[in-house]
Amino acid sequence: LDTCLILMEGNESREGISTLLSRLTYEMEKIPPEGKFMVLTGIVENLRTIETELQEIVSKVVALRSHLDYSPIKIENLEKSVAEIERLKRKYRCRTTHELIEYWKSVEKKLLEIERQNERKKQLEEQFNKDQQELLTRSEKLRQHRQKAAKIMKSRLETELKKLAFSQVQFEVNFDTVPVEQQKISSTGLDNINFLISLNPGQPLGPVMEIASGGELSRLVLGIKSIALEMKNLPVMIFDEIDQGIGGKTAFWIGEKLKVIASGRQILCVTHLPQIACFADQHLRVEKYTDGQDTWAEISDLQNREKQLQELARMMGGEKSTGPALQFAETLMERAGK
């Protein structure tokens, strides 16, 4: 528009169309309209009309220009924006501005998804910290309950073991003393627990698996199961070779204990000792056979007292039941109250 105005109105270095047109009209008006020059009258009128219309055009262009902001700074910024768009088109290999806009939309969508993932990650971290704190709190409460239960277990188990011929037994539940914040929580909580026992006078406390022999371990297991029944009434209990490593009067004590336990529930007991078997209400004989290639077992229900006595005698004396063995079997049955 500036160039158009300069052409129409001129400037310091050049005359504009308006000035030239006015001068042209003025010069023609000076020629007398006579003879052949009468035609100049119409031409002058046309020039004046053109001059008037040109002034109207100039006025409209000036008015239009006044409504436009020709800030050099804004123009410079626009030029920079255009240059930046061209640079981005080259960088991201976009042939047109439309392709660049579509690429920007796809990047914006990915960024939004990343922001959502970061927000989700933040939420999960907050939930994890909350759950971890709750886990630590509950684990500490569990530790306190365990320590309280350990004192009760010590008293009751020592009482039960004394009934099983451990007259000087000492039992302790050992807890690790590592602080909560330094421990790794496992499926069983924060505690690493060891059962310590001393079975003889003067013997220091030590881990059960290092101190107890096979027979002692059998009695210990029986004692633990006995106090477990006081807390939870189990309808069925299985004792598989609880007689391992024991014999004599100790086996008879275990049989008596099993009888007491069986007074309120069903017990299935696998044993090789007649001192334990004599307390049973029902006897099943299990025999294993092999032909060198296959192995199988047969179970016989010993329903009458005679078969039971023969089996008890066989367990003591071998394949054939002798008189003394049968007499001892009868003594065991009578002692067991059968």
Q: Kindly report, residue by residue over 284-330, the tens digit of the pLDDT.
A: 999 899 998 999 999 999 988 999 999 999 888 766 666 888 888 89
Structural domain tally of the chain? Answer: 2
Average pLDDT, integer, range 23-44:
82
What pTM value is reported for the model?
0.53
pLDDT, tens digit, for every residue of 215-236? Answer: 788 888 888 888 887 777 788 8
Is 127 inside a domain boundary?
Answer: no
Binned at pLDDT 50, 70 and 90, residue 136 comes out as confident
146-155, 170-179, 268-277: least confident range: 170-179
Is 338 inside a domain boundary?
Answer: yes
Is 24 inside a domain boundary?
Answer: yes
What does DSSP assign to residue 278?
A: T
Q: Which of 45, 68, 91 finishes a domain?
A: 68
Per-residue pLDDT at 180 exceeds 60 = no
Q: What does the pLDDT read at residue 183?
A: 60
- Find the CATH number of the domain harbouring 303: 3.40.50.300
Residue whose entry in the numeric block shows the structure tokens 């009482």: 159
Mean pLDDT, rounded, of the chain: 86
Average pLDDT, integer, range 239-267:
84
Q: Which domain holds residue 299?
A: 229-338
Residue whose entry in the numeric block shows the structure tokens 């023969």: 310
Q: Which of 68, 90, 122 finishes a domain?
A: 68
Binned at pLDDT 50, 70 and 90, residue 177 comes out as low
Instruction: State the Cα–Cα distance between residues 122 and 253, nearest whole angstrom.
Output: 63
Is 317 inside a domain boundary?
Answer: yes
Taken in order 332, 334, 336, 338, is the CA torsion positive or negative?
positive
Average pLDDT, integer, range 122-134:
92
Q: Which of 11, 42, 68 finishes a domain?
A: 68
Binned at pLDDT 50, 70 and 90, residue 196 comes out as very high
Pairing of strands 266-270, 236-240: parallel
Q: What does the pLDDT read at residue 96?
A: 92
